[in-house]
Amino acid sequence: MIRPTRIYQISESAVTIEFAADATPEANSSAIEFTRKVDELAPAGVVETVPAHSSATIFFDTRALGTTPVGRVEQLVDQVLPSIRTAGRSSSDPIEIAVKFDRGGTYDLESSASDAGLSVDEFVSIFLAGSYVVRMLGFLPGFVYLGEVDARIAMPRLSTPRRVVPRGAVGIADRQTGIYSMESPGGWRVIGITEFTLFDPESFPPPRLEPGAIIRFVEIKE
């Protein structure tokens, strides 16, 4: 069980619980499990819980609190943390996401493979061999940050971000991979495109994936 290293207020109605200074898998797991337990408890005054790479933020309706937001979070930590497993991850089956890889050279697969000293087929095979945990949502509604790719295919961000990255683009930035939920600017290395819908404003909740879910990619063959 990882105890928080810091608890601090970021607004009148929001408090962040930091589990580590760095984005380790263990800290991310603790952040996700902590928010799940708080959601299950559904304490009065809690409006929303949001896990991140190594922290969790709780948003409050301060009118419903009998103490300060920081004081309430400290109570929740003492109440919830003993039930959190140190290696807690989703036990559900992996979610398969089909990807058409950029073998035609429109984006960054060929240049990334070359930079890694690999053939395109080798690069794709290494990517497909991994399973990836949804570490957090952010940047765009439904954008998923996934970790971690094999070190052999880790790639720095583009020196100049693209003005337009298409919806469904699968990208790599350092040891992270992620999926663009909608068209936007972006600087990740785009290696493929998926038709998987990440964000549907007509559904509840709108994001299709949640932190802690496990993703496996499969290739769409021509």
Q: Which two tokens stand for residue 218?
A: 């499969």
User: How many CB atoms sit inside 10 A of residue 80's CB?
Assistant: 18
| Domains by residue range for the chain, with CATH | 6-83 (3.30.1360.40), 95-219 (2.40.100.10)
What does the pLDDT look like over 175-213, one tens digit per residue? 999 999 999 999 999 999 999 999 998 888 889 999 999
Please answer whether residues 141 and 171 qualify as being in contact, where contact means their C-beta atoms are separated by less than 8 angstroms: no
Tell me what the pLDDT averaged over the chain comes to.
91
Q: Residue 30 is encoded by which pair of tokens?
A: 């603790």
Q: What pLDDT, on the 0 to 100 scale, is given for residue 161?
A: 95
CA 123 to CA 24: how far, in whole Å? 25
Side-chain-facing half-sphere of 122: CA atoms under 13 Å: 10
Taking the CA atoms of residue 177, residue 183, residue 189 and residue 191 in that order, the dihedral angle to the nearest 10 degrees is 80
pLDDT averages per 10-residue partition of the chain, 222 residues: 87 93 88 93 91 94 84 89 63 88 92 97 98 94 95 97 97 97 97 95 89 96 76
Quote the pTM value: 0.88
Residue 7 backbone zone (phi > 0: left; psi -120 to 50: alpha; other: beta)? beta
